[in-house]
Amino acid sequence: MARAQERPRSVHTPEGGVVLDISKGRMFSLNITGSVIYQLIEQGLPESRILEEMVKRFSIPHDLARRDFATFCRSLKDHALPTRGTNPAQE
């Protein structure tokens, strides 16, 4: 019987996080910002809510939050790293 592909597992601390892509044997480290974004994506929040949280938590302008979020999502896509939440590009 074929096993379903395992989803990535993540661990987060105040200093950042780690995502384990067990099915492909890869590990990715995240800085604090990446860790927060990844957790919010895993929770299934839409992009608008993630951006609001980034602005609030990091005291940054909305435009910078949007650019950082887009860059992070491109990186996830480039590494073919799925998430448990919604597609980050959707809203």
Domain count, the chain: 1
Q: What is the pTM of this model?
A: 0.80
Task: List the alpha helices (DSSP H) in 21-61.
Answer: 32-42, 47-58
Does residue 85 belong to any structural domain of this protein? no
The closest of 34, 32, 27 to 8, measured between CA atoms, is 27
Distance from CA of residue 31 to its chain's centroid? 11
Does residue 51 belong to any structural domain of this protein? yes
Does residue 3 belong to any structural domain of this protein? no
The closest of 25, 43, 46, 37 to 75, measured between CA atoms, is 37
Helix (H) or strand (E) holding 77: helix 62-78
Percent of the chain at pLDDT above 90? 67
Arithmetic mean of pLDDT, 40-49:
94
Q: What is the pLDDT of residue 4?
A: 53
Does residue 69 belong to any structural domain of this protein? yes
